[in-house]
Amino acid sequence: EALGKQGWEILSETCELIPRELITIADAKRGDIGNTSKAYARAILDELDCDGVTVSPYLGYDSLEPFIEYQDKGIFILCRTSNQGSTDFQMLKTEYLGQKRFLYEVVADKASLWNRYENIGLVVGATQQEELKKLRLSYPKLPFLIPGIGAQGGDLKATIENGTNPNGELAIICASRGILYARSGSEFAQGAAEAAEQMRDAINHYRKRF
């Protein structure tokens, strides 16, 4: 968007260049009222044909439903994000079903209730290991999308220990800046490829214990 209409073109071409056997998740963080959400869902899941998307929960169920209705796509709801300001609201104590729960826990619980097509996951930052562990114990079957490794400083080993299920699965660990900006200029592609390979090897190393 920062690049205007060229931005969409580049995004669209990038999506086309990615081989179909690789999974694409658009980190769009959309959350709007029904008819607008429907248009966003169509743009990202139909036009760009991404396999998954991130969505923001503040507007509630009807803002997410147009995404969830794409039953063969993965819908990742922002739950406990990796950024510093995430404590402002996500860590508020709320009254929920007669219990005291953090707001992010209510989001996780509602997400699991809305999961009739089994296509919902949660976004949980690798900078929040305590909550990652707690959420994995509470929701053993939900896929987690885990940003915050690399540039943001999340620990990979702890993330795999806390974020995967007992088989070392259901955690999609993502790195953006650490890979995108590994090297610049003409070495960009080489640098990004190496950084991605290193991370893949590290992930598989830590997963060996499973």
Binds its own copies by CB under 8 A, chosen from 25, 45, 53, 106: 106
Residue 153 near its own copies by CB under 8 A: no
In this complex, which beta carbon is closest to its own copies, that of residue 2 or of residue 22? 2
Helix (H, G, I), strand (E, B) or coil at 11: helix
Shortest CB 136 distance to its own copies, Å? 21
Distance (Å, rounded) from C-alpha 139 to C-alpha 180?
31
Nearest to 44 by CA among 81, 93, 10, 11: 11
In this complex, which beta carbon is closest to its own copies, that of residue 25 or of residue 107? 107
Residue 164 near its own copies by CB under 8 A: no
Shortest CB 207 distance to its own copies, Å? 27
Alpha helix (H) residue ranges in 43-176: 61-68, 87-90, 103-113, 129-138, 156-163
Shortest CB 13 distance to its own copies, Å? 10
What values do phi and psi take at 173, rounded to 5? -95, 125
Residue 98 near its own copies by CB under 8 A: no
Nearest to 62 by CA among 119, 114, 118, 116: 114
Distance (Å, rounded) from C-alpha 47 to C-alpha 57?
23
Per the annotation, the verdict on 110 as an active-site residue is no
Which H/E stretch holds residue 166? Answer: none
Nearest to 138 by CA among 105, 100, 96, 104: 105
Nearest to 69 by CA among 80, 53, 56: 53
Binding mask 169-198 for its own copies (x = CB under 8 A): --------x---------------------
Residue 16 near its own copies by CB under 8 A: no
Within residues 56-95, the interface with its own copies by CB under 8 A covers 56-65, 78, 81-90, 92-95
The region of 2-10, 15-23, 137-145, 162-170 touching its own copies under the rule CB under 8 A is 2-10
Q: What six digits make up the tokens of 171? A: 């955690």
Binds its own copies by CB under 8 A, chosen from 7, 138, 157, 204: 7
Residues carrying an active site annotation: 29
Q: Which residues bind its own copies (CB under 8 A)?
A: 1-9, 12, 29-35, 39-40, 42-44, 47, 56-65, 78, 81-90, 92-96, 100, 103, 106-107, 110, 177
